[in-house]
Structure 1
């Protein structure tokens, strides 16, 4: 028997690597004589670097950068096993996870630290990048990142502007004379499942601003500032970001990459599936285990469990998903190859209790799935004799 274990992280509790480990322990409690293949995955957000580094036996390089509110934070970039491909995870430098809920303010938060991470990798000679841009705390259109890489932004009086979404409204001139020339020598693959345009009702500010701390009033202001920013970029670069798909990803940094970097954008989970060689590892599997903290209708928009299920479905392999919380609309997932969804919560409990005991609940639920599957398989074999 062979089981492939390919979960995403359970945010606030366990990384994808840890989730896979505990799922494996649960299976081994049920059956010791079973082959398990661990392939931790991610969809372009937090945990993408760790998954890719683990799958390719790469390494992690620590770098101290400025966080979303310009306080120093310990971030990192990964180098894959090929020794050439560098993975920069935006959440590591400019993520929501780096600031307290009370400090969330996209008027102030900046992508400067993400630019510092890219610069650090460039200085080490890397020219091939995967950029995972999920989980950002920002709405600055990527301006901070550009500033960290040498782009100078001036106001009407010729003074250098500050950082954060609110400062975009003051920009009058973009000066790229000192913009890092090594960027033009590099290639950037952007991992993101977001297809939102930069501005408007479906744009960055309206759709993602509130979760980053924006009030209704701030959302309107931020959208106006991004419109102004997009106008300036169109004038300078000849690239119209206003309604360009993907430009609104991660507070507009997707648009900055499209306008100033030699880049392409792909769905995050597809990149992870390719680099982890998941399709080959699925060969001969009896079933697949996947999961993430919350599974609901949004999972069908390109989240990790859906991507895993799509690949397994091609080979006719059943997929069982485990979630910390199950929301509405999961019936949409069945068409993509998810056989059934299980909650790891096995009794009434608080969120804190579920998070603190996630490892044990994962093992228990996984064990029950394995026992049920193998019992059913044995019954079918007996009936056919």
Structure 2
């Protein structure tokens, strides 16, 4: 029996690679002859850079940067080849950096700009920058990132606004005269599975702001809308309603206006570059999955993309999930044949996360048993 395993990471628990290994271990306990090929995968969120180097693509590198509170940190990225780097917004501005001890207006994307600037300084030969947008703790629409890259956002008195979100509403003038020239020459690819636009009821702040500690969502959404208006006024083009500009606290809007970036489905891009489809013809069963599967998963999330590819080759697809309580018929309609949830009985979220490795191996055993029954 030949298996292909490509499970997305379970946020705050196990990486894609760890989950794949745990499930594979369980299968092997039941069928020692099983042939298993696994791919570390991601959709533009947590684990995007790892999806490359853990599959033998590129080298893991590190560079000096700052986190979302401007504390000095060492940030990791992948040098995919001499002309391409892969990095994550979450590496410097991740939600894991947020602290209740800091004002909610303090978080800034400045560190993302510092990381970009330092990478391009140390590796001037780089022509392409691939950026995973998921897992961020920022909501400043990328203003801090652009400040680090040389753009000035001035108040009516000529002073530059403070880092963070407290003075976005005071932006009167945008001056990109000092934008570092090197960045303008690069191809920038933004990986995201979030399709939200910048502002409004389904925008960056109203949908994702609460989980980032924002208390007055409507006020910040209004302030971000002011930034959008200033961008339109300055550059004479409207990107505010473009899908995905609401990803990573609205950082995409700054990428579009200042850096000529393009949005691409993170899952599709990574699966394609890893060459996962090439393996499907010789596989008997495909195992994919994600932390929580619900009806939204059916609209472009990684397990759905894997399942659709598998169905081109008429393969059966199992999905391993941490939470399957909201799985619907729509999830099965896109090509998934069976959803298996990790919890085995009543468990708190904390208990489930603490025991993910064990539970994933048990699911692997179950898959091995199911396959054995089907082969009889």
Output the CA distance in 1 between the equivalents of 2:165 and 2:325.
32
| Distance of 2:165 and 2:279 partners within structure 1 | 43
Unaligned runs of 5+ in 2: none
Give the equivalent residue in structure 1 for 2:134: 134
In 2, Cα distance between the equivalents of 1:116 and 1:343? 40
SS in 1 for 2:251: helix
Distance 1:43 1:37 in 2: 19
1:120 to 2:118 alignment: yes
Q: Do 1:105 and 1:213's aligned partners in 2 also have CA atoms closer than 8 Å?
A: no
Structure 1 residue 239, shift from structure 2 partner: 2.4
Q: Which residue of 1 aligns with 2:178?
A: 178
> For residues 291-370 of structure 1, what are the structure 2 equivalents within 5 Å?
291-370=289-368
Structure 2 CA distance for aligned equivalents of residues 259 and 239 of structure 1: 9
Q: What SS does structure 1 have at the residue aligned with 2:230?
A: helix
Counterpart of 1:233 in structure 2 is 231
Residue 209 of structure 1 is matched in structure 2 by 209
Contact 1:344 1:362 in 2 (8 A): yes
Write the distance in 1 (CA, Å) between the matches of 2:68 and 2:155.
22
Does structure 1 retain, via aligned residues, the 8 Å contact 2:64–2:118? no
Does 2:93 match 1:94?
A: yes
Instruction: State the Cα distance separating 1:104 from its structure 2 match.
Output: 7.6
Asked whether the equivalents of residues 189 and 264 of structure 2 are also in contact (C-alpha less than 8 Å), the reply is yes
Q: Relative to 1, partners in 2 of residues 1:103 and 1:132: Cα closer, same or farther, differing over 3 Å?
A: farther
2:62 aligned counterpart, secondary structure: strand
Counterpart mapping for 1:249-264 below 5 A: 249-264=247-262
1: CA distance, partners of 2:46 / 2:273: 17
Judged with a 3 Å threshold, the aligned counterparts in structure 2 of structure 1 residues 64 and 356 are, in CA distance, closer, same or farther, namely same
TM-score when normalising by structure 1: 0.93
Checking the alignment, whether the CA contact within 8 Å between 1:106 and 1:140 is kept in structure 2 is: no
**Structure with greater helix share of residues:** 1
Residues 346-355 or 316-325, more deviating: 346-355
Task: Look up the match of 1:50.
Answer: 50
Provide the rounded CA distance (Å) in 1 between the counterparts of 2:255 and 2:249: 12
Q: Tell whether the 8 Å contact from 2:293 to 2:327 is kept in structure 1 after alignment.
A: no
Q: How far is the alpha carbon of 1:253 from its aligned partner?
A: 0.7
Provide the C-alpha distance between the structure 1 equivalents of 2:340 and 2:103, rounded to a whole number of angstroms: 36
Q: Secondary structure at the match of 1:166?
A: coil
Preserved contact between residue 56 and residue 276 of structure 1 (Cα < 8 Å): no
* CA RMSD, Structure 1 to Structure 2 (Å): 1.6
**Which residue does the alignment assign to 1:70?**
70
Structure-2 separation of matches of 1:165 and 1:207: 17
Figure out how many residues of one structure are paired with residues of the other and give that number. 374
Give the structure 1 partner of residue 106 of structure 2. Answer: 108
For the structure 1 residues 327 and 107, does the alpha-carbon distance in structure 2 shift closer, same or farther, using more than 3 Å as the test? farther
What residue number does 1:371 align with? Answer: 369
Preserved contact between residue 106 and residue 209 of structure 1 (Cα < 8 Å): no
Q: Is the 8 A contact 2:63 2:119 kept in 1?
A: no
**Helix, strand or coil: the match of 2:7?**
coil
The verdict on how the C-alpha distance between 1:201 and 1:347 changes in structure 2, with shifts beyond 3 A counting, is closer
Deviation at 1:106, TM superposition (A): 5.1
User: Are residues 183 and 332 of structure 1, via their aligned partners in 2, closer, same or farther at CA, if it must alter by over 3 Å?
Assistant: same
Asked if 1:274 is matched to 2:272, the reply is yes
Pair 290,139 (structure 1): closer, same or farther in 2 beyond 3 Å: same
